[in-house]
Amino acid sequence: MDSWFTYLKQGLSRKLPKDRIIGKENYSSIKTNLKNLRPFISRHWRKGLLGSILIFFTSLLGFPQPLIFRYLVDNVILSRQLELLVGVILLLLGIALAEKLASLLQQFYFARFEQEVTLDIQHDLLERALHFPKSFFDHNETGYLMHRLSSDVQGVRWFFSSTIVYIITNFLRFVGGISLLFYLEWRLAIMVSVMLPGLWFSVRYFSGKIHALSHQGMEQQAIVASRLQESLSSVSLIKAFSSEFRAVRCLMSELKTAFQISLERTSVSSVANLAISSMPSIARTMVLALGAYWIIQGQWTLGSLLAFQAYLGYVFGPAQFLATTSLQFQNAVAALERISALFDIVPEENVGTGITVERLKGEIEFKNVSFSYDGYNQVLKDISFHVYPGEHVAIVGPSGVGKTTLLSLILCFYKPSSGEIYFDGRPASDYEVGSLRRRIGYVSQDPLLISGNIMQNLKYGNPDATQEQVIWAAMAAGIHQFIQSLPAGYETEIGEKGVKLSQGQKQRLSIARALVKEPDVLVLDEPSSALDRLTEKSLFQILPTLIRNKTLFVVSNRLSAIKEVHKILVLNENTIVATGTHQSLIESNPYYRKFVVTAD
């Protein structure tokens, strides 16, 4: 078991971790990062103003109390002025009640202000994140991003919390306290003032350490969230390989690292707090000793000593608050730097700008398009083809040749490394990307369904679809009869990612969902890989008729899906090696003939 000193030593040696998103340890300045919060705070500033006024009012109420108490001791109790006792007590009670009421109200108003600003930041950040390029999500785990988009946002509440107002009021209280100490006894006030720089040096030393540990802790918690999400979403794999103990061991290893960092932070914070809290105790003891000596010598009054001790709280209380807040500030700065890294990510091109697409004719052209995921290894090389409105196109080729990537480029998930893609004669970059995608129906290789019922999933791309449109699409995809057989029909809950359905049922639901969207271009990526031959044959007998006037792209290695299309693009070695109809390619292209024999 590591000792407290070991944790302290390790904590003091921690450095800033490398941020996974920005790929470096250095962040923008705090002034630059605070600009990300300014719009949200300015949007709700009036709601925070009332809470701020109440805090200032509460702070002002505290100033006269020690002087009133001194008057009570010296001029009422020791002078035996009984007739003044009730009035002074009532005055103290009135101030205390007003202070408590103001404190109660300011807590409510500031809590409301904080929550509304936090919700606004969360909303904006989530909206921005969903418009990040798809390549961003390819490189970052879901659980990791979930933690950074939620927990890190909570960390920045410090910047618009009541703490900011308390910093101002405590500073004013500190200045007022120092002034009153000099008013009561200047010699003792000088002695107290000499001790204050020790607090500043302590805070300066420990702030950098707490900042690094805060970053380390947040990063490790995000990694834990990533591993946990990965484990829970891979339960079938874990069970199939009987690797439950290994999965728990890996997760616990990350959790132990998180706890290690937490203990290091606790150890460093405890030393910092000891240094901060010891100075007021020393000051009070010295003031008590000298003050008692002067009182015995008849050079000072008991009431003055009690008032001086009370105003010491007005000096060291705020000084301790400011010092402790400075340490807390490091945690808030770390959270701000981490969410600012997300704010600084450039979203997809043409989000909210460009030509809004109402309808597409369906003409699509690739001109010398090449693409690479990493900037080095080309997945597609010099791809060129022209598809006219209403044409049905099949894309065939061996695994890993770039078929799915080609469909991703049609959907504008990625930008070509070189070359240009045209929709209806215009470059894809001319269009507002969201409106362009709304005119494209998509069925992915791995069917993606959301939690909820069947109807919600089918209407996902077209929330205004009628019951008749949904049933028509379900019948076209060959899933209507199955849905009708369920006790709740279209209201049947399908579980997370459609876990209650078979792979074939999920695939047919995905096809139906794409049809409900009523797209101008339909993109199908291996849409029948989980279907039996009979269902697949039935689907591709009906589908071409239903989408007769729509442009279709289908990736498939099954003959029933490609035999009747207008055009086939044959990919090999990451480029198009042949183009034509099924019959013309059979007659002219040996590679395609070999492919057909293999597929058959």
Q: pLDDT tens for residues 147-185?
A: 888 888 888 888 888 777 778 777 888 888 888 788 888
pLDDT band at 405 (very low <50, low <70, confident <90, very high): very high
What lies within 8 Å, CB to CB, of 504 at 6+ separation is: 530, 531, 532, 535
pLDDT exceeds 70 at position 278: yes
User: Exposure string (b/e) for 161-174, b if CB count within 10 Å is 16 or more?
Assistant: bbbbbbbebbeebb
What contacts 24+ positions apart, CB below 8 Å, involve 310-314? 310/65, 310/66, 310/69, 311/66, 311/177, 311/180, 311/181, 311/184, 312/177, 312/181, 312/192, 312/280, 312/283, 312/284, 312/287, 313/177, 314/62, 314/63, 314/66, 314/173, 314/174, 314/176, 314/177, 314/180
> CA–CA separation, 405 vs 409, rounded Å?
6
> Residue range 259-285: average pLDDT?
84
What domain range is 393 assigned to? 349-439+549-600
Assess whether 411 and 294 both reside in one domain: no
> Residue range 294-299: average pLDDT?
84
> CA–CA separation, 362 vs 299, rounded Å?
98
Q: Which two tokens stand for residue 143?
A: 């659980």
Among 320, 343, 366, identify where a domain stops.
343
pLDDT band at 491 (very low <50, low <70, confident <90, very high): very high
- Looking at residue 91, its pLDDT comes to 83
Cα–Cα separations (whole angstroms), residue 401 to 312, 379, 381, 435, 574: 76, 7, 10, 29, 5
- Nearest CA to 547 among 529, 527, 522? 522
Q: What is the pLDDT of residues 542-597, one digit of tens each?
A: 777 778 889 999 998 777 778 888 899 999 888 999 999 888 888 888 888 888 77
Cβ atoms of 360 and 521 closer than 8 Å:
yes
Establish if 16 belongs to a structural domain: no
Assess whether 303 and 434 both reside in one domain: no
Cβ atoms of 462 and 438 closer than 8 Å:
no
Helices and strands, counts by H and E, the chain: 23, 10
- Looking at residue 272, its pLDDT comes to 83
Cβ atoms of 574 and 401 closer than 8 Å:
yes
pLDDT exceeds 50 at position 43: yes
Assess whether 232 and 337 both reside in one domain: yes
> Residue range 224-251: average pLDDT?
88
Assess whether 353 and 330 both reside in one domain: no
Higher pLDDT pick, 192 / 578:
578
> CA–CA separation, 114 vs 125, rounded Å?
16
Establish if 448 belongs to a structural domain: yes
Task: Write down the pTM of the prediction.
Answer: 0.76
DSSP state of 493: B
pLDDT band at 92 (very low <50, low <70, confident <90, very high): confident
DSSP state of 357: P
- Looking at residue 455, its pLDDT comes to 93
Establish if 17 belongs to a structural domain: no
- Looking at residue 599, its pLDDT comes to 65
> CA–CA separation, 195 vs 279, rounded Å?
7
> CA–CA separation, 552 vs 523, rounded Å?
6
Cα–Cα separations (whole angstroms), residue 530 to 282, 396, 440: 77, 18, 23
Cβ atoms of 204 and 6 closer than 8 Å:
no
- Looking at residue 307, its pLDDT comes to 78
pLDDT exceeds 90 at position 459: yes
Assess whether 165 and 48 both reside in one domain: yes
Q: Which of 288-297, 353-362, 422-431 has the lowest mean pLDDT?
A: 288-297
pLDDT exceeds 50 at position 419: yes
Assess whether 382 and 338 both reside in one domain: no
Among 343, 373, 400, identify where a domain stops.
343
State what percent of residues in the chain have pLDDT above 90. 25
Hey, which of 190-204, 272-286, 338-352, 397-411 has the most confident mean pLDDT? 397-411
Establish if 495 belongs to a structural domain: yes
State the CATH number of the domain containing residue 87: 1.20.1560.10
- Nearest CA to 560 among 528, 586, 523, 592? 528
State the CATH number of the domain containing residue 471: 3.40.50.300
Assess whether 255 and 404 both reside in one domain: no
Establish if 153 belongs to a structural domain: yes
> Residue range 255-265: average pLDDT?
90
How many domains does the chain contain in total? 3
Assess whether 376 and 495 both reside in one domain: no
Q: Which two tokens stand for residue 572?
A: 């090999």
- Looking at residue 558, its pLDDT comes to 78
pLDDT exceeds 50 at position 1: no
Establish if 451 belongs to a structural domain: yes
Q: Which two tokens stand for residue 192?
A: 């107290």
Among 466, 498, 518, identify where a domain stops.
518
Assess whether 220 and 310 both reside in one domain: yes
Establish if 456 belongs to a structural domain: yes
Assess whether 432 and 459 both reside in one domain: no
pLDDT exceeds 90 at position 383: yes
pLDDT exceeds 80 at position 538: no
- Looking at residue 469, its pLDDT comes to 92
Assess whether 415 and 449 both reside in one domain: no
pLDDT exceeds 70 at position 231: yes
pLDDT exceeds 80 at position 266: yes
Cβ atoms of 417 and 370 closer than 8 Å:
yes
SS3 313: helix
- Nearest CA to 340 among 31, 21, 16, 33? 33
Q: Which of 198-207, 376-385, 505-514, 571-580 has the lowest mean pLDDT?
A: 198-207
pLDDT band at 2 (very low <50, low <70, confident <90, very high): low
Cβ atoms of 176 and 314 closer than 8 Å:
yes
Assess whether 509 and 575 both reside in one domain: no
Establish if 305 belongs to a structural domain: yes
Average pLDDT, the chain: 85
